[in-house]
Structure 1
Amino acid sequence: RIGVNHGSLSERILVMYGNTPEGLVESAMEFVRICHREGFDNLTLSLKASQVPIMIEANKILVEKMIAGGFNYPIHLGVTEAGSGEEARIKSIAGIGSLLAMGIGDTVRVSLTENPVNEIPVAKELVKYYGRNKKAINETIRHATAYKLQPGETLKNITGQRFPVVVTGISEKAELRYDAKQGTLVSGANRKCNIQPVQEFPVLENRIVKISYPGLSSGELRIRATVDITLMVGQTSSAGLYLENGETEKSDHLVDLSLKILQAAGKRFSHAEFIACPSCGRTRFNIFKKLEAVKSKTAHLKGLKIAVMGCIVNGPGEMGDADYGFMGSGPGKVTLYKSQEPVLKNIDESEAVNALINLIKKGGDWVVPEKRTTFF
């Protein structure tokens, strides 16, 4: 296996390509060429990043490079240091599922900072929906409707002025709607409209996109909506998103899901971004509990990237783009980082979370949390 991590590129690659998807690809391809030249082709390739857009773009470029070079090696997919909870699952689904839907990927790993057995159900569901399903990517558009706002038309329950906005209701004047029974887009006069191919999502800057999944369970909705929206926003831009699931899900949950998907896709940040390794034998503190403690205190810091890493072997490189770092440095000891600089070294694990909060305050990035139960 030739594996490259976005946070651990060599200085030579960084000088030549920067910390880019192209740098990830070239870092792998130079070793592919060496192995092939020496007659060794029993390879699998893996390009991982904690940022979903970079992970997706790198693997797309990798396929292009392999085709151009006459190579045909299997690709292993994963979003590295995805973290824990719903956000981590959505990040993994966005990255892995989108590539599987494009026909890219042979093996997968969902990486969670939790008990490793929790990774398997998510991976199985992804493979169930998108593994070797060449029609999957063409199905996404069947649930997408683009609304062009008419004079005097109002939106309901907008989550704020940042774009894309997330909407939980739209007036009946909208031009188009998706009819589940007919499986097509229809106008107000019930005339059928042609469904555009996936490469041309019907989305413009002044349009609200409605995607409807009537009757899907919560788990199915999370996977289908995450992949569809990630593919859509990666190709086009829109003024807003309106996710609908009939009467199955409450509107608050749909808004929360929409915001988390948009954040995973790198389009709108509504809460802090957490980068955390899944733990290994080098970890010298309970990273599962500490990550949850850090999240409970800092999740409201919109747009801030916070890394919780288990050890000093991979931690410094793989949390390179984080604003703040919380890294195990010995048994029961933690070192805190501001960007890539260690600021507080080898402090006691029991004091580390409060010390991190004080460091964030000192850096001018702390805000008082609002009393809300979802990330609006």
Structure 2
Amino acid sequence: MTKRIIVGGVPIGGGAPVSIQSMTNTRTSDVSATVEQIRRLAAAGCHIVRLAVPDAASAEVIGEIKRQVSVPLVADIHFDYRLALMAAERGIDKIRINPGNIGGEDRVRQVAEACKSRGIPIRIGINGGSLEKSLLTKYGGLTAEAMVESAMGHIGLLNRYGFDDICVSLKASSVPLTVEACRLMAEKTDYPLHLGVTEAGTEYMGTVKSAVGIGSLLLLGIGDTIRVSLTADPVREVYAARAILKAAGRLREGAEIISCPTCGRTRIDLIGLAGEVERRLADYKGNITVAVMGCAVNGPGEASAADVGIAGGDGVGLIFRRGEILRKVPQDRLVDELMLEIRKLEESKQDE
């Protein structure tokens, strides 16, 4: 089991549930826009939000942003240790930094002391695209071993000043490289790991790559917090992260939709129905399995494990609950009737 750190009240590691992170893409100095996006991320299910802090103007407003939101905030710092100090002074909940790229050891000491005195954890972020040249030379290029050695070096630098409230990420745009680096790191240390595939791409391809990379590690029992990096609205990152956690069996919240592929037997708009059900249940906060099936072959019997579902026919369909057929309804009423049964199911749970 990994060590546990606390980020603004959210536990990471030590057996805590895997938390979801994302990052704003607004100018942090634009307080109103940043706060609005943080609130959208939180509403979608994000537990921790990271902010870019490239300049003093961004660092100066951290306290003001924190007063308007409820989720913990992370300051993303590169090169300038003074920005880390400013963020710490203004109540940031966590700092993401590479101790090796902020200058001399005295600067690292100042950041470590500022964070230690305030109980602020530090994430050491190792990125395959910015690894130390000395390590690239030693290993003959970018390798998982080089990434792990870089991480261990940064950990040692913070440990030198008595700081050990650390989380580590090892990310590359290559899925196999990311997985191997995280696997090696998990074997070598018990620091909590932040998982993600960096520069993963657009929403579709980035989600696929992240699902393979993050999902395979979660199935190995590796990973304490995740961020899906997409070239898309950050809220889409949260939805993708929730889906990955569900597929890996690490999240028991929300609607799990199971649906069959279309085939020559299908006589109903199954694709449209499944899409509409998914849309209506996107923000569902309960715990339910919903089936959308195309015909009697893949209908109530095969989907009997689902809490509730629909099965198509020729212009009509069946509403069923845990394999039991309830009634037949016209196609244009199927989704409405399904949602009605979901509400009934929720009400019955509340009465229990």
Q: TM-score w.r.t. structure 2 length?
A: 0.50
Listed as ranges, the gaps of 5+ residues in structure 1 are 1-145, 368-376
Larger proportion of helix: 2
Distance in 1 of aligned mates of 2:233 and 2:343: 36
Distance 1:291 1:215, change over 3 A: closer
Matched, 1:209 2:194: yes
Distance 1:243 1:311, change over 3 A: closer
Distance 1:250 1:178, change over 3 A: farther
- What residue identity is the alignment partner of 2:248? A
Distance in 2 of aligned mates of 1:283 and 1:257: 29
1:263 Cα deviation after fit? 1.5
Counterpart for residue 163 of structure 1: 17
Are the counterparts in 2 of residues 293 and 353 from structure 1 also a CA contact under 8 Å? Answer: yes
1:308 Cα deviation after fit? 1.2
Counterpart for residue 241 of structure 1: 226
Matched, 1:348 2:330: yes
Are the counterparts in 2 of residues 178 and 212 from structure 1 also a CA contact under 8 Å? Answer: no
User: Which of 310, 328, 334 in structure 2 is aligned with 1:326?
Assistant: 310
Counterpart for residue 273 of structure 2: 290
1:331 Cα deviation after fit? 2.2
1:294 Cα deviation after fit? 2.7
Distance 1:250 1:358, change over 3 A: closer
Q: Secondary structure at the match of 1:236?
A: coil
Are the counterparts in 2 of residues 147 and 176 from structure 1 also a CA contact under 8 Å? Answer: no
Are the counterparts in 1 of residues 300 and 324 from structure 2 also a CA contact under 8 Å? Answer: no
- Larger C-alpha radius of gyration, 1 or 2? 2
1:250 Cα deviation after fit? 4.8
User: Which of 126, 131, 139 in structure 2 is aligned with 1:178?
Assistant: 126
Q: Cα deviation per residue 1:3-22 (whole Å; 9 max; x = unaligned)?
A: xxxxxxxxxxxxxxxxxxxx
Are the counterparts in 2 of residues 243 and 258 from structure 1 also a CA contact under 8 Å? Answer: yes
Distance in 1 of aligned mates of 2:331 and 2:222: 44
Q: Secondary structure at the match of 2:300?
A: helix
Counterpart for residue 117 of structure 1: none
Identity across matched positions, percent:
21
- What residue identity is the alignment partner of 1:341? E
Distance in 1 of aligned mates of 2:196 and 2:207: 13
Distance 1:256 1:206, change over 3 A: farther
Distance in 1 of aligned mates of 2:325 and 2:203: 41
Distance in 2 of aligned mates of 1:290 and 1:153: 41
Q: Cα deviation per residue 1:35-91 (whole Å; 9 max; x = unaligned)?
A: xxxxxxxxxxxxxxxxxxxxxxxxxxxxxxxxxxxxxxxxxxxxxxxxxxxxxxxxx
Distance in 2 of aligned mates of 1:215 and 1:297: 28
Counterpart for residue 235 of structure 2: 252
- What residue identity is the alignment partner of 1:310? G
- Quote the RMSD (CA, aligned, Å): 4.1
Q: Cα deviation per residue 1:135-156 (whole Å; 9 max; x = unaligned)?
A: xxxxxxxxxxx99565x75489
Q: Secondary structure at the match of 2:287?
A: coil
Are the counterparts in 1 of residues 186 and 222 from structure 2 also a CA contact under 8 Å? Answer: no
Q: Secondary structure at the match of 1:272?
A: strand
1:315 Cα deviation after fit? 1.8
- Tell me the matched-pair count: 216
1:266 Cα deviation after fit? 2.0
Distance in 2 of aligned mates of 1:215 and 1:242: 11
1:265 Cα deviation after fit? 1.7
Aligned ranges for residues 105-124 of structure 1 at < 5 Å? none
- What residue identity is the alignment partner of 1:304? I
Q: Secondary structure at the match of 1:331?
A: coil
